[in-house]
Amino acid sequence: MAANGDATILLPTLNEVDNIGAMLRTLTDLYPGQNIVVVDDDSEDGTAAVVREWQGDARVIVRDRSDRGLSASIYDGISACTTPYFVVMDCDFQHPPEKIAELLQALREGADLAIGVRTDRSALTPFRRFSSSVAHIMAHCYLSFHSQPSSTDIMTGFFAGRTELFQKVIGESEGDLERRGFKALFDLLKFCPPGIVIREVVFDFMPRKAGESKISPLVIISILRQCGRGGKSAAALISRIIKRV
């Protein structure tokens, strides 16, 4: 069991009414006393209302829909944390809640960042497996070229970190973050101090419990925009070509 009150579990959501109640029950049972914050992109299906009516340790931050974005929700959630540690995960059960304990243990033992690494990705569609692999290769090459820390699964979306460290990273890099992107971890690795300690925790990527994925098929273009000036230029060129087709 996790130590009470030292972590905030962040759940970025957009139209997840079919999953959020079950996830709140699961997290409350597994980690009593920990903070749960749902960072909602102004869902239209009542996701925020479910959280407001929840009787346990959970609160909701409803964001302006003009600033909608998975990465933006994560950055805002981390910035609002008041606990020493934070955990970022999806609320659709593709990231197993049971693994949060291992991520937090890695932080308590001295890691600055703990990353959930997918071992079995069969729950992904073939296209998503392909796009995830290509996006990972691009991100890894960029980080290696700039001598920044990396991971064996930059596209995971399931990670935990030291709040004070990453609040500073977000504050100092705010103007350079890809807020409308899908892979906040990539940006956090891009702008974090080079010498941080990273631990990885393996997990099996599970099928969605309910609802539909919000990941765009154009995720590779989003990753390109995170790869410096050259990547932004390439992303703009590809976007123009797609619009003409």
3-state secondary structure (DSSP) of residue 147: coil
Q: Which amino acid is at 111?
A: A
pLDDT tens digits for range 65-90: 999 899 999 999 999 999 999 999 99
The pLDDT value recorded for residue 241 is 63
CATH number of the domain where residue 95 is located: 3.90.550.10
For residue 241, is it within any domain? no
The pLDDT value recorded for residue 245 is 44
pLDDT tens digits for range 178-199: 998 888 999 999 999 999 999 9
DSSP 180: T
The pLDDT value recorded for residue 222 is 76
Percent helix, strand and coil across the chain, each to the nearest 5: 45, 15, 40
DSSP 181: S
| Angle at CA of residue 176, ends 220 and 153, nearest 5° | 45
The pLDDT value recorded for residue 242 is 56
For residue 38, is it within any domain? yes
d(CA 116, CA 96): 10
**Ranges under pLDDT 50 in the chain:** 1-3, 245
SS (H, E, C) 17-52: HHHHHHHHHHHHHHCCCCEEEEEECCCCCCHHHHHH
Give the CA count within 13 Å in the CB-facing half-sphere of 72: 18
Question: CB of 163 within 8 A of CB of 86?
Answer: yes
Number of domains in the chain: 1
| Angle at CA of residue 204, ends 203 and 206, nearest 5° | 130
Residues 6+ away with beta carbon under 8 Å from 228: 142
For residue 72, is it within any domain? yes
The pLDDT value recorded for residue 5 is 87
SS (H, E, C) 148-181: CCCCCCCCCCCEEEEHHHHHHHHHHHHHHCCCCC
Q: Domain range holding 177?
A: 7-212
For residue 101, is it within any domain? yes
The pLDDT value recorded for residue 239 is 65
For residue 119, is it within any domain? yes
d(CA 110, CA 119): 24
The number of residues making up the chain comes to 245
For residue 239, is it within any domain? no
Residues 6+ away with beta carbon under 8 Å from 64: 42
Output the DSSP codes for 113-124.
EEEEEES--TTS
d(CA 87, CA 78): 9
